[in-house]
Structure 1
Amino acid sequence: MSIVPETRLTIGEALFRLLRDDVPVRFEAFDGSVVGPEDSPIRLRLLNERGLSYLMTAPGDLGFARAYVSGDLQIEGVHPGDPYELLKAVMSRLRFRVPPATEMVQIARSLGFGNLKPPPPPAEEHVPRWRRALEGLRHTKVRDAEAIQHHYDVSNRFYELVLGPSMTYTCAVFPKADATLEEAQAEKYDLVCRKLDLKAGDRLLDIGCGWGGMVRHAAQHYGVRGIGVTLSQQQAQWAQAENERQGLSDLAEVRHSDYRDVTETGFDALSSIGLTEHIGVRNYGDYFAFARSKVKVGGRMLNHCITRPDNKGRASAGQFIDRYVFPDGELTGVGTIVVAMQDAGFEVRHLEDLREHYGLTLAGWCQNLVDHWDEALDEVTLGRAKVWGLYMAGSRLAFERNEIQLHHVLGVNTSADGDAAYPLRVDF
């Protein structure tokens, strides 16, 4: 009795077997196989065995990112600074299935069992969480500093090109749909100032201050004395120089410091804009207790944070984000934040979701990267620039699809007799 040899699949055929529907864009592999619509304006070209190994050993966003960042997977039809249209097509219409075990064996044999050995990751990738765990507990001062430096101590000039003159790396607030990115960032800072009810002579603590935009805005427009703290030395140096350039050094100070090392107390207000994502959900209690200890009775705290649309999922931000963008970053639902603020003694007075505004913000940053692509490559590697385009475009789509959100939560350090120093109605 003769044995019929098993049919070997091409890379394209193997990919087709793993999908529920057709491939939404054109896919071409180095073995000559092709799948997807011939007239698609977007094409993916898998160039070699290493790229295939990346995809096989880390299915999903991490494997895709490794192959793309390393140059083993090329994208045509979109700019690397803004691959939004590719991600929109893939995330909207690419759905995988789990084939039977026998079919999975055939796919693996066809693609080569040797490709199940992971190649070394691209240089832009941070070490995995298990390796970081061997070096110390998550969210210690040392490990937090290392995580922040991985992302922020890249190149201040690169950030100037991407973020624009405001040097503000958090969600803007668009007063109208056609507002410029700079107008929207100024409106964001002003909205925070209004929510905190800042007045001339007030003292503000801004933790996780980035390049100091919040303390400068509060100083310049409200006459506030502000202290900002950041774990990034490059941010602090840039911010202090900008404070001096604008003649605000007598009111605005930015320190290279862990927020937990701030010794001053009695602040009229505290802002935390984009820091909560970095501190770890388990540390929320200590974080908000620290914040309340710094704010005088009747003072306010405004927490601005990326959130999940529920409070049930894992806090991890995902493999690609963890390895390439925000090591140790964690996201949870706004309900978890509200509970932690209340348990720390804050009275929560106002909550607002600004997720659509973050989609618009990210679209602006991607356009800046496209417009300044050649200059950006003078500052960072091609792989790093690709990471930024991929992460910002993907994040934009996630905000648009309500997969992540952006919440403002305003709390008051209410007095023992219930005085919140808060008006009956507010008009921010």
Structure 2
Amino acid sequence: MMNTANAVLERNAVPDWILRAGIRRLLGQRLEMEKERSRNPEYKWSFMEELRKLDIAVQMDSANEQHYQVPTEFYLLVLGPCLKYSSCYFPNASTTLEEAEEEMLLKTVQRGDLKDGMDVLDLGCGWGSLTLYIAKNYPKCKITSVSNSWTQKKHIDSICNERNYKNVRVETADVNSWTTKSRFDRVFSIEMFEHMKNYEKLMQKVASCLKTNGKLFVHYFCHREYIYHFESDGPSNWMGKYFFSGGTMPSDDTLLYFQKHLAHENTWKVNGNHYSKTLEAWLQLMDTNIDQIRPTLVTAYGQDSAVKFEAYWRTFFMACSELFKYNDGFEWYVVHHVFVKR
């Protein structure tokens, strides 16, 4: 049945309302499965212990290819003007995507207690939305940005050159092997931790490059209670296969289990409806700009697979939107944690 459904989906022939209904059904099944697993009181603790045995990140080549095989032009046509490839914040119904990008960036630097003149690390910098926001609004800060994508580095370098920002340095590196002799007042990491496994080693790595009293600000999406891996086996797990290989759905409190090197200081929860609205805005932009987007999909996936991946990208945005607005945004959402160096 799932194989047949996927075959129809790959022809881009399934109405959105049917897709969304199917997605909500699968989300309900996921909750039932995780509820059953969690009946064992030791399950969550055992899961955290298993993470400690893994590399910081796994399947990095696959994850990198899934999101960055598509040309930069695709993201320029789908995302907001800041190219913020993560949840934005919509304070009211009239907020535009551009305004929502700025709202979340402002919350990020405020909650991270950023001050002008600090040394900053943007770990997993994406297309540079936070890096460029800090460069513009905190001109005395020195920013080191780390991405595993050379196309992202090229984009950020180009913008910095265009805007004459001299306080940004972009590195391309795998977080497993990345090291630095620099020390930072603040480390920001926006929606990178979901692609990681061994949080103990990752937190140790961050702590090692923080100055005394330095802080880590982490923004990640999560489930309110359950933690699980994104599986890639089976026809119903195509999202894990094509978009989140090696990924993790953290629970809200996941990082609280890993405080050997960094101590928890503060937490904010961002209702999932904000991310749902972000994803709906991306979907609308994709549909609006589809004639320009299709050539980028041909470039990335080849003529024979372009239609399939057009359907996959649209379904990816819909699936994530439905996930984050499930139970009115209180089931899956974004959490902001601040940790201070011990």
TM-score between the two structures when normalised by the length of structure 2: 0.81
Distance 1:353 1:339, change over 3 A: farther
Residue among 167, 172, 179 paired with 1:262? 179
One-letter identity of the residue aligned with 1:413: K
1:65 paired residue number: 6
Shift of 1:316: 2.3
Q: Which runs of 5+ in 2 are unaligned?
A: 30-52, 298-305
Distance between the aligned counterparts of 1:95 and 1:189, measured in 2? 29
Contact 1:153 1:233 in 2 (8 A): no
1:229 paired residue number: 146
Counting only pairs closer than 5 Å after superposition, residues 314-393 of structure 1 correspond to structure 2 as: 314-316=228-230, 319-340=237-258, 342-380=259-297, 381-393=306-318
One-letter identity of the residue aligned with 2:94: D
1:87 paired residue number: 19
2:221 paired residue number: 306
Greater relative contact order (Cα 8 A, min sep 6): structure 1 or 2?
Answer: 2
Residues 202-246 of structure 1, C-alpha deviations (whole Å, 9 max, x = no match) = 111011101111111111102221111111111111111111112
Counting only pairs closer than 5 Å after superposition, residues 20-99 of structure 1 correspond to structure 2 as: 55=1, 59=2, 64-69=5-10, 71=11, 74-75=13-14, 78=15, 83=16, 85-91=17-23
TM-score between the two structures when normalised by the length of structure 1: 0.65
The count of corresponding residues between Structure 1 and Structure 2 is 302
Residue among 151, 154, 158 paired with 2:70? 154
Is the partner of 1:306 in helix, strand or coil? strand
One-letter identity of the residue aligned with 2:13: Q
Contact 1:349 1:412 in 2 (8 A): no
Shift of 1:92: 5.0
Residues 48-92 of structure 1, C-alpha deviations (whole Å, 9 max, x = no match) = xxxxxxx3xxx3xx76334411x2x722xx4xxxx3x33333345
Distance between the aligned counterparts of 2:28 and 2:230, measured in 1? 22
Which structure has the highest helix share of the two? 2
Residues 120-177 of structure 1, C-alpha deviations (whole Å, 9 max, x = no match) = xxxxxxxxxxxxxxxxx97577841342122223110011111132111000112333
Is the partner of 1:348 in helix, strand or coil? strand
Distance 1:242 1:401, change over 3 A: same
Distance between the aligned counterparts of 1:189 and 1:293, measured in 2? 26
One-letter identity of the residue aligned with 2:211: K
Contact 2:261 2:341 in 1 (8 A): no
1:296 paired residue number: 211
Is the partner of 1:198 in helix, strand or coil? coil
Shift of 1:257: 1.5
Distance between the aligned counterparts of 1:184 and 1:96, measured in 2? 29
Contact 1:398 1:404 in 2 (8 A): yes
Distance between the aligned counterparts of 2:28 and 2:134, measured in 1? 49
One-letter identity of the residue aligned with 2:228: R
Residue among 307, 332, 336 paired with 1:404? 332
Contact 2:56 2:199 in 1 (8 A): no
Shift of 1:371: 0.5
Is the partner of 1:378 in helix, strand or coil? helix
Distance between the aligned counterparts of 1:377 and 1:359, measured in 2? 24
One-letter identity of the residue aligned with 1:370: D
Residues 237-295 of structure 1, C-alpha deviations (whole Å, 9 max, x = no match) = 111111111211x1122221123413133201000101011112xx0100111111111
Is the partner of 2:248 in helix, strand or coil? coil
Distance between the aligned counterparts of 1:237 and 1:180, measured in 2? 28
Is the partner of 1:367 in helix, strand or coil? helix
Residue among 177, 181, 184 paired with 2:93? 177
Contact 1:265 1:293 in 2 (8 A): no
Distance between the aligned counterparts of 2:27 and 2:336, measured in 1? 34
Q: CA RMSD in A?
A: 2.6
One-letter identity of the residue aligned with 1:227: T
Distance 1:96 1:156, change over 3 A: closer
Distance between the aligned counterparts of 1:258 and 1:138, measured in 2? 15
Pairing 1:243–2:157 present: no
Contact 2:57 2:246 in 1 (8 A): no
